[in-house]
Every structure is written in C-alpha cells, then in structure tokens.
Amino acid sequence: MTLFFMGSGGDGVITAGGLVLAAAANHGLVCHMTKSFGPQIRGGESAAWLQLSPDPISSPPHGVDVMVVLSWKAYPQFRSQLVLAPGVLVIQDSADPTEPPDDLVDAEGQPVTPISLPLRATSETETGGHMARNVVVSGVVLGLLRLPLAPVREAISKRLAKRGAPVVEANLRALQRGLDMADESPLSAQVRPLPAGEQTDQLLLSGNDAVALGALYAGVDFFAGYPITPASEVLVNLATELPAVGGSVVQAEDEIAAMTMVIGASFGGRKAMTATSGPGLSLKSEAIGLAIITETPCVIINVQRGGPSTGLPTRTEQADLNLAVLGAHGDAPRVVLGAEDVRACFDATVKSFYISERYQTPVILVSDQLVAHRQETVPAASIGDGGGFVKVTRRLEPQDADGSYKRFEINGSPITPMASPGMKGRIYRTSGIVHREDGSPSSDPEIHQLMSEKLAAKMRLVLEELGGTRLEGPADAEQGFIAWGSTVGAALDAARAATTAGTPTSVLVVEILSPLPAEAILDYIAGVERVAVPELSFSGQFARHMRAEGVPLTGALLLNRAGGTPYTGPELLSLIQEAWS
C-alpha cells in the first residue's frame, strides 16, 4: 500500500508520515518513507510517500492508494509525479481555502472526489491551535489501517516532552479524535486494514543514519564537516554519537577547511571522514588531490542533489559522477563507491573505511537525496556482524626503527607502511609536491612516472580483491540493466516484473565506480541479447564513464534524464518494453 501526505512547508506532513511509519514498522511491515520538500526554510511544498508491505520494497512508489492533503496549494508541485490508483481515497481538510483541482482522476481516468474532514477544527478544539492537524490526520490513517497506537503515542510524548505535559496531553487527545473520526465515518469501508507483517527486530533508519552507523562500526575517530543539504544529518548524528566513544567532531568554517582537517587528522593516525554534497565536493577537490599524492587514508561521503550550481538542493540526481571520479587536477586516481539503498549505506561506509585504510587512499562514497533522506525498515540482524560487509582494518604501519624508513618506497607493492607523527625512527617528509621515496620533493620526470604507477597500481588491487559488481536475477537472462546507486531499486523491480512476464531479465549492479570494473561489465553485456542503462543524469555521465573505460555500449538503450524525479520499476519496465517490443 502507498500513502501520500501533501501540504505546505510547516504543515507537518512529513511528521505525520513519520508517525504512521513508526506504527507500521511496529506492526511488522516492511516500510519506506520518501520525503520531498522545497528549498525554502519555511513555506513552499512538502510531501511524504509511504510504502507499507509484508514483502521487500526496492523502488519508489508508482501508484497512490491513500492521499492526505493538508493544503491543495502544494498540488501543482507534485502533480506530474502522482499516479492515483483505482479506488484511491483522498482525504482533505475541510478548512483548506484552496479548492481541489477540477480534473482530479485516477489511473483509469475515473474522477476522484476528495472526502473532507474537520482536521483544523479538531486541532483547535483539542489543542487551542491548528498546528496539530497532522496529528489528527495521523490518527485517522492509523484507525483506517488498524495500525498499533502505542508507538505513535510514545513518539508524540517524546517529541513534545520539552513543551510540557499539557501540550503532550492535548496532542494525544487530538490523535484519539482522529481515531474516532475513522471509526465514525464511512471511510473505513474504502480502505482495507493492513494485516500484521512477519518482520521482527527492525531498525527504522535513513541513508544518512546508516552512514553514521557504518562509520562508527568501522571505528571512525574524527569527523569534520560543514552543513549542506542533503548531507547534514551525517554531521548531526556523529556530533551526538562519536564523542561518546572517544572520537572528535568539528563543524568547520567551510568545506575546504573540513577536508584539510580530515587530512590532518588522518596524517596523525586517526580514521577520519567528512560528508558533503556536490557544491561542497567541488570545493574539496584540490585537497582530495593532496590526500591522493600523500597517500593519506580518508573517507568522503557525497550525497548528490540536483545541479549544477545550487540547482535542486532538495531533490535527487546522479550527476556528481564526473566530479567524484575525475574532480582533481592532474592524474589523481581515487576509489569511488555507490550506495543504492539505506542498508547499502551502512555496508558501503564500512567498505569505504576498509579500502581507505588498507590501500592508503581517499575513498568517495556517493549516495543521493533519495537514499539519504528515505527512511526504511532494516532487519537488525543484517547490520554489522549479522551480515553485509564487516571487514575492519587499520593502515599498515612500519615495524623497523633503524632510521632507514622510506614512507613512499618503491618495493614491488604499492602499499607501503605509513608512520604517524611521534613514531621513533620513522620520521618522513610529506607535502603536495612530487616526491622521492623518502618524501623529499623532486621534479624528476622519472620519479613522477614511478609514483604515478604506484598510485595506479592500488586501484588494480582494489578491483582484484573486491570485484566491484554483483549480479541480481537469472544467470541466463535474455536482457538486463546496468545500474548504480538509487536507480538500482527501480531496475530490480522492472527486472523481476519482466522475468515474471516470461522474459528473463537481470541487473548488473555496479558497486565500485572508480576504478571501473570494465571487464565484468563487458562479460555481462556479452551474455545478454540487449541491455539498458538507466540514470538520473541528463548527459548520461555513467554511460560516458563506461565508454571512456573501454565499454562501448553498442546498441544499448540509454535512459537518461535530469534529476528531481526518480525512476520507478513500472516506468522502467514500460520503457524497455516500448523500446524492445
């Protein structure tokens, strides 16, 4: 079942969605909540999509079964994204001054008549103001779906505790009045209650929450960052949790300072990271080059949003790929990973620290607004030692102390011991200039060639150890998708639907974007009759990147579009059927 809550910024629709989400998770259901809001501090549009199911959910919702409208003023912003399922129930506030559209129809073209409820009036009666409308309508939805009330009562009590017992009690009364409304109205005849699911011991996390947890699991010691949408929650979470385990968090004065602080902390022996979005990654590029040439481990989280420039700061896109892979002057190889969903954010963060420390290199982990802000239920047993990527390591350190230590030694292995300041007999020079084995500056072209080969060799070792791709679906598929990041979920849904319909379809998930696992991609293409490459990039950056790395993509169906609206499974299925029929 898919629910859609819509209103103006400040109406509390995302809070209402979160209350229903908490109840559904407690009910044992698999839950996703995707948030959408305008770039304004207050005002503009705001919405929450909820998907509730007893089965796994891979991609964004396609059809809406229940729509809750606190303000029709926001409707034009979401109209192009909404598909109303046949029999959809639309609930509106009877006090809304904006009239619903005259042409509101479902997916079959049938007119839809909203049902008005006194949400504002009830809020004013129970709390003395209109701000609890979202609590009232949460009660209505909980009553219609027969979801448990206890987790919602607990959430309201916790959220409003600082405002005092009278405010908490008033909002709990508003919640109860919403439940009463559901029982007293004919609405319940239009909605099928959700039976309890079988999922137990679930965590309700966003992608940014999962990144912070993954960093803590991997043993992060130091975080420096600058607030930027949609990555700020990583900073906020670690500011709360990291000091409790002996780590340090700094909110820097800007993005450049944050990156150089991370390099300095890592040089001093700490596991260090930062988090940003596209504009911040642009500013960090020069310092990332410094980390590459000095072979300094560090992790950079880049949560993509629409661009260029300020672009779409609260919408999703996959168009930072060029910047993540190539954003530095000179030949500056680095590892770039992609995260496709909330659970993958945890695993990919742990993997990022592993690669960074083992291979002494910066690692950029790329997610996007859709994944970072989406909340999902994640089985607790799948986190950490219960599954996923759990390798944790620290950098190789020198063992000798006889004064012959060469930090950047050319000795057959590109991974050379890294000393921390204060290690007796292991002092070395380091700077951002081309250097000899002991770190002393050099302008010798031969030295530059050798050191460039050393950096490139690390990239080959990363692919040899970790592969970089995984196959989902039938091994003998006739057709397939090549996808990365948040587009993977829609590709998986489309592939399953196509396979069920009689055409075996698979998905090659590219987890390591740099160095690109080109051989694995070529092998996959050779094994299917036709292939599609979906991405939220107007120019097709992913396809261009593959071509540049020796994957010709001859005859491939390239599905590119600018960001803002993610692909859904049914949409991708329709696109490949139309192209390949």
**pLDDT value at residue 402:** 67
Are 566 and 516 members of one domain?
yes
DSSP 56-74: ---S---SEEEEEES-GGG
- What CATH number is given to the structural domain containing 223? 3.40.50.970
Are 156 and 182 members of one domain?
yes
Last residue of a domain, one of 178, 200, 222: 200
Q: How many CB atoms lie within 10 A of CB 130?
A: 17
3-state helix, strand, coil in the chain (%, to 5): 40, 20, 40
Q: Which residue has the tokens 């939805």?
A: 141
Residue 391 covered by a domain: no
Are 92 and 178 members of one domain?
yes
Residue 357 covered by a domain: yes
Are 474 and 459 members of one domain?
no
Are 248 and 346 members of one domain?
yes
For the chain, what is the domain count? 4
Last residue of a domain, one of 416, 451, 466: 466
- What CATH number is given to the structural domain containing 160? 3.40.920.10
CB 3 within 8 A of CB 50: yes
- What CATH number is given to the structural domain containing 510? 3.40.50.920
Are 153 and 235 members of one domain?
no
pLDDT digits over 129-176, tens only? 999 999 999 999 999 999 999 999 999 999 999 999 999 999 999 999
Residue 325 covered by a domain: yes
Residue 297 covered by a domain: yes
Last residue of a domain, one of 352, 386, 420: 386
Are 160 and 216 members of one domain?
no
Enter the pTM of the model.
Answer: 0.95
Q: Which domain holds residue 314?
A: 204-386
Residue 382 covered by a domain: yes
Are 538 and 408 members of one domain?
no
Residue 164 covered by a domain: yes
Are 211 and 163 members of one domain?
no
CB 302 within 8 A of CB 324: yes
CB 355 within 8 A of CB 513: no
Are 86 and 217 members of one domain?
no
**pLDDT value at residue 294:** 97
- Cα gap 6→74, rounded to integer Å: 7
Are 519 and 460 members of one domain?
no
CB-based contacts of 31, cutoff 8 Å, min separation 6: 21, 24, 25, 50, 51, 52, 57, 204, 375, 376, 377
- DSSP 8-state symbol, 419: P
CB-based contacts of 571, cutoff 8 Å, min separation 6: 62, 490, 494
* Cα torsion through 293, 297, 303, 306, rounded to 10: 0
- Cα gap 540→192, rounded to integer Å: 42
- Cα gap 53→194, rounded to integer Å: 9
- Which residues in the chain show pLDDT less than 50? none
**pLDDT value at residue 543:** 98
